[in-house]
A and B are shown apart, each in its own frame.
Chain A
């Protein structure tokens, strides 16, 4: 899987070369957070409806959702098992994004691609997912280093 993963990560740019595995991981991560966001979102929308009747309710709900989403992600990270499952699911989804982009790249090369934008959209999604994954990885490493620097 490691070689494949690396290849998948690279594939993000179109060829998806290095970033594949990392991107897959990151994608999974992002997905998990996104799922948490969804649950929080419904709550946020409900809260928004109850408290604000104004037309600005949608924006308010969105802001609420964003705020609550962040809280939800932190809560999920607090429990080890849930976070691991979240991460695994997210990685799997990133892998899916990468492989679909790779398949479309092959189609483009062989002339079987019917819609040009399909490949461009797939590669953009894979790229974004990879960026998200690396961002999360960087943040996690940052947090770990911060804790390791702690004076005992």
Chain B
């Protein structure tokens, strides 16, 4: 199976939520969504973002929207004005997750626009 970054088959946007952030992953095809529901477990996201997020990762599934929504519990270095990080609001966390390299079946790639 080809190894590609998540960005090949999905979009993402992130923002702050309290002391953490959310990353909404938007699959660009039904095939990509079905694949990601299996491949993009919360633990996979937690490991990929471990240097950014010190807390756990919770996942919500929105089948009708082909969206997986991840809540990173402690990813801002303190919430609100306590964060001194450059990315104090988690604006770049979506792009960070899109860098994740995955083994994606060719059939999913074929069914998903670049």
Genuine A/B complex:
no
Which residues does B use to contact A, with CB under 8 Å? Answer: none
